[in-house]
Amino acid sequence: MTETLPSKKAVRLRGRSFLALVLSPEMPFADWLVELDDLARRSTGFFLNRPIVLDVQGLKLTRDDLAGLVAELEKRNVRIMGIEGAVPSILGPDMPPEMRGGRAAADIEVPEDPAPGEKPAVEKAGAKVAAAMPSAASVSQAHSLIIEEPVRSGQSIVFPEGDVTVLGSVASGAEIIAGGSIHVYGTLRGRALAGSAGKPQARIFCRKLEAELIAIDGLYKTAEDMEAHLVGKPIQAWLEGDALMAAAL
């Protein structure tokens, strides 16, 4: 009679979206695999450690065809994290899980041949490796937004792609919503909501804390809940489990 009810918060389910490389094979697979091998040879390690989704939309496949293709890819060290666009009946328990609801992103550049020599006929294969992984240079560019002016009352800066850096102050009545971290080099008087796209490791930094509200991944603190000794100080805020922590810098 002393059994306690399990806590309702024991299992927490959350959604998250990631960018994955998508491979769209073409029939017959033998030819397509030759082209893939060619691509892999040109850029060693291109498929290594990358999450890859196999898009078989529109292909007339039998269960054996698919199993064979997955096996062939495994032989080439291409790890398939999921299969998109397949009829559920041809998916077996030994195969990667079905994926649904993917949204298209920009095409990915096929890595150039490191040794500029004769170019094999792989353009077609390259075009088929449509996926969503911008090159390293544009990653750093697209994932950070720098605002050089003060953010005025009534303004709302929404940047779900990554970090927001404000060189001036954030006025009361203004808000910054960032997918990543928020850095304010002036006074933070308005609202700062970091990690808005489900990123609990995001942080908030500011030179002077006078915020109306700070939030990371949906967990928030209003001005009233903030420790009095932190107000007016340079602080950082981060998430520790389900607690929003803040400390002087």
Partner 1 sequence: MARVLVVTSGKGGVGKTTSTAALGAALAQSGQNVVVVDFDVGLRNLDLVMGAERRVVYDLINVVQGDAKLAQALIRDKRCDTLSLLPASQTRDKDNLTAEGVARVMDELRERFDWVICDSPAGIERGATLAMRHADTAVVVTNPEVSSVRDSDRIIGLLDSKTELAERGERIEKHLLLTRYDALRAERGDMLKVEDVLEILSIPLLGIIPESADVLKASNLGAPVTLSDATSAPARAYIDAARRLSGETIPMSVPSERKGGLFGKLFGRRAA
- Which residues make up the interface to partner 1 (CB under 8 A)? 149-150, 152-155, 168-169, 171-173, 187, 189
Supply the minimum distance, in Å, between the C-beta of residue 173 and partner 1.
6
Supply the minimum distance, in Å, between the C-beta of residue 171 and partner 1.
5
Supply the minimum distance, in Å, between the C-beta of residue 149 and partner 1.
7
The nearer residue to partner 1, 181 or 187, going by C-beta atoms, is 187
Q: Is 184 exposed, middle or buried (0-12, 13-18, 19+ CB in 10 A)?
A: buried
The nearer residue to partner 1, 170 or 194, going by C-beta atoms, is 170
Supply the minimum distance, in Å, between the C-beta of residue 248 and partner 1.
20
| Token duo for residue 39 | 């691509």
The nearer residue to partner 1, 52 or 188, going by C-beta atoms, is 188
Residue type, 37: D
Own/partner pairs for 172-179, CB < 8 Å, 24+ apart? 172/210, 172/212, 173/212, 176/151, 178/145, 178/202
Dist CA 249 CA 246 (whole Å) = 9
The nearer residue to partner 1, 174 or 246, going by C-beta atoms, is 174
Supply the minimum distance, in Å, between the C-beta of residue 183 and partner 1.
18
The nearer residue to partner 1, 126 or 173, going by C-beta atoms, is 173
Residues 42 and 120: beta-carbon distance below 8 Å: yes
Residue type, 243: A
